[in-house]
Structure 1
Amino acid sequence: MRFRVIIVSVLLVSCVVNSQSIKEKADQFFAIGNFSKSIETYKTLEVLDDVYDDIAKAYVAIGNYGEGLAYYKKAISVSPEDLLLQYQYAKLLSKTKNYKEAHKRFSDLIKIDSLNPNFHYELGVTLEKLQDSTALERFKTTYQLDSTHQKAIFKIGKEHLVKRRFKEAHTIIDVGLESYSDNIELISLKAQTYYYQEYYTYAVVWFNKLLDLGEKSEFIHEKLSLSYAQNSDYKEAIYQREEVLKYNPKDANALFVLGNYYAALSDFEKAEDYYKKSLKLRDVSLSNEYQKLGIVLNRQKKYKEAIEAFQKAQKEDPDDIMNSFFILRSKDEYYADVDAKIKLYEDFIKKEKNAPLKPYAERRLKELKEEKFLEED
């Protein structure tokens, strides 16, 4: 009898040791990122109660959220008092867009532990997905419970910015940056706040901080370009706008803006080039764009090409009186014959009786007639 007891004991110890060995192997597979192998190994255990959550985590790691949810449910059924399991399950529910069930789970967790800031934050995220306006209150509660909670600070700061409460936005962003000065999201929010305040010098500083931290995006370069331009720093504005073009080389607006910047620097040849590139890509009314092109062509004394550009602008928008006036002025510069010029102004005055620029045309017509009289004399 004693011998049998000893045999049974040895077998039990052997089973326990074997189970421990299998779990250790599975844990090792998990630790090195071989999640599918870890799942396979966990499932060879005779009893899975203690590894349901490990299997759930491994499934989540390989993106099989359905199985992850199923195994979290099994884990919770075995350990219903384990708050961490319930928290992880609720987060996965929210991640998989099961927002109503996630809402219930997070609310239940808050009833158990109302002082846990992350329970409030995750409920806020879920409420946000449900388009529930009370989400902000949850983020504020999170911040009250943990004044260093970066994600909650970002959510509150972003809301202040959207509502154009700039002072409040800066205040809470600064609190967050005190505990984590390299928070990319908060630095971006800080830069945007200055930008929308039209404090462009400060905006430049903060957008450049993002670049210094290795953050590069079309949005950052575009806002930097616009900020530099507002400070008349067109060389930097051009550099940043050219960076924007790397993301979308066929961005007609970016090309047109570059034309404006080069025109501001009196580099009319490059302005002309960018305007033309922009025009080729557009399929909307181009009156304004052709006007801009005509102006920089005039500045280069390319009057014939300028006339053609203004005529295209006029074709795009026949009601824009400025097109007619620009054509008139370009022909005035291009034509050598005084009589031809006089007729141009007479026709313009006759046709555009109520034009705001009529007084200028009348003065110029008078100058031309005097010029003709002196030549004849």
Structure 2
Amino acid sequence: MKQVLFVVLLLHVFKAEAQTSASSVADSLYAVGNYTKAINEYSKIGNASAALQIARSYNAIGNFEKAIAQYQFVTDENPDFELAHFELGKLLLKVGEFQKANVVFTYIIESNAENPEYYYYLGEVLRSQEQRNASLSQYKRAVGLDSTHLRSLFQLAKHYTIKQERDSALTYIEKGLQFYENDVAMINLKALVLYNDFQFENAIPLFERILELGENKNYVYEKLGYSYTMNWEFDKAKQAYNLLLNRDDTNSQTYFSLAKVYQKEKKLDSAKIFIHKALDVQKPIFAEGYSALANIARDQKDLKTALKYYSMAHDEDPLDARIYYNIATVNDQVGTDLNAKLAYYKNFLKQYPNEHPYFYESVRKRIRELKEEIHFAKE
């Protein structure tokens, strides 16, 4: 009897050693990216860990269908294998199987409610399903469990930045920056929050820091250039916009931005040069170019030229209320026919009844004044 037990024990030892050897070979193949051979070796072992490695190998190859099938096999056979569920959920999210991913992450949260990663990924699933409020709730749960969970902090900060809810956005941004002060994404969000809040002086060092950290993107130069302009740092603004033109000299918006810098400096002839350059590269020509020329003519007290360009802009974009408002006000300045002036303002109210309160009230006030002038002129 003792000899039988010894033989059985010996067989188990040999089997364990064989599995260890086969696992080492399979792991070595997997480590160097030889996934197909690794799958063949793992299939000889027959335990849960090897089955998981087969799923990972299919995933690494890019055969997501087989990977998902293998993960599902592993989780069906081993319902408590949390890691396999987690990886399955992430893969389902990756391939767009959002409802299935939702089920998986909900399941593992029920079994382990203390892992912030699970809430983050459930948040990502819900965001992909366009369930924004539900996704925010999951990100907040992740942050509640781990105040340094940077990806959840980023998603929350991004949401409130887009919504232009300044205080909420900055709350999550600052939490992220306390954990990782050089996180480019968080610095970028903070810069955008301040930029959208017209705090250009405070936004400038953040955009500069983004460039220092290697985020050498056009939009950074665009917003930095505008921030310099609004902060009266005209030379720096020109430098930012010229760097953009060195990258792409066919972008009309950059020329328009440079023109605005010169216009603020009261260098109106230089501003006109850049507007004409913008028009040269802008096909078709849009209303912005004509409006810019009209604004400069107005600054130069050349109201007839301004009216000509505003009219050309209106032809290009008849839906822009601001352009027609400018036509009405300039015509009011240069015209002599009170009834013609009144007609422009009345037409403004008719064509643009839901515009900004300033325009609406200004026009109504001028209509009352013109009616009084016409009445007294008749008398």
- Aligned equivalents of 1:51, 1:350: Cα separation in 2: 90
Is the CA contact 1:23–1:42 (under 8 Å) kept in the aligned structure 2? yes
Q: Deviations over 1:53-105 (max 9, x none)?
A: 11222222233222221221222233221111111111111111111111111
Counterparts in 2 of 1:291 and 1:351: CA distance versus 1, 3 Å: farther
Amino acid at match of 1:206: L
Corresponding residue for 2:100?
A: 101
In the alignment, structure 1 segments of 5+ residues that lack a partner are 327-344, 357-377
Counterparts in 2 of 1:21 and 1:354: CA distance versus 1, 3 Å: same
Is the CA contact 2:160–2:169 (under 8 Å) kept in the aligned structure 1? yes
- Aligned equivalents of 2:326, 2:163: Cα separation in 1: 39
Q: More displaced, 308-317 or 102-111? A: 308-317
Larger Rg: 1
Structure 2 SS opposite 1:134: helix
Is the CA contact 2:298–2:306 (under 8 Å) kept in the aligned structure 1? no
Is the CA contact 1:158–1:189 (under 8 Å) kept in the aligned structure 2? yes
Is the CA contact 2:293–2:309 (under 8 Å) kept in the aligned structure 1? no
- Aligned equivalents of 1:322, 1:81: Cα separation in 2: 70
Aligned residues: 332
- CA RMSD, Structure 1 to Structure 2 (Å): 4.2
1:10, CA displacement in angstroms? Answer: 8.9
1:1-377 matches, cutoff 5 A: 17=17, 19-39=19-39, 41-43=41-43, 45=44, 47=46, 49-132=48-131, 133-245=133-245, 248-265=248-265, 270-283=270-283, 286=286, 289-290=289-290, 292-293=292-293, 314-315=311-312, 317=314, 349=336, 354=341
Amino acid at match of 2:122: L
Once the two structures are aligned, what percentage of the paired residues are identical?
25
Is the CA contact 1:252–1:281 (under 8 Å) kept in the aligned structure 2? yes
Structure 2 SS opposite 1:216: coil
- Aligned equivalents of 1:77, 1:287: Cα separation in 2: 63
Q: Deviations over 1:126-160 (max 9, x none)?
A: 11111122111111111111111111111222233
- Aligned equivalents of 1:218, 1:203: Cα separation in 2: 16
1:36, CA displacement in angstroms? Answer: 4.5
Counterparts in 2 of 1:81 and 1:8: CA distance versus 1, 3 Å: closer
Amino acid at match of 1:135: S
Counterparts in 2 of 1:40 and 1:269: CA distance versus 1, 3 Å: farther
- Aligned equivalents of 2:337, 2:51: Cα separation in 1: 90
Q: Tell me the TM-score normalized by structure 1.
A: 0.72
Amino acid at match of 2:25: K
Amino acid at match of 1:130: Q
Counterparts in 2 of 1:175 and 1:315: CA distance versus 1, 3 Å: closer
Q: Deviations over 1:299-350 (max 9, x none)?
A: 99xx9xx999986765554797978999xxxxxxxxxxxxxxxxxx9xx757
Is the CA contact 2:157–2:172 (under 8 Å) kept in the aligned structure 1? yes
- Aligned equivalents of 1:47, 1:266: Cα separation in 2: 79
Q: More displaced, 98-107 or 267-276? A: 267-276
Q: Deviations over 1:180-219 (max 9, x none)?
A: 1122221111111111111111111112221111112222
Q: Deviations over 1:264-315 (max 9, x none)?
A: 3455565344222211233456565246447769999xx9xx9999867655
Corresponding residue for 2:357?
A: none
- Aligned equivalents of 1:320, 1:160: Cα separation in 2: 35
- Aligned equivalents of 2:329, 2:93: Cα separation in 1: 62
Counterparts in 2 of 1:267 and 1:80: CA distance versus 1, 3 Å: same
- Aligned equivalents of 2:170, 2:108: Cα separation in 1: 32
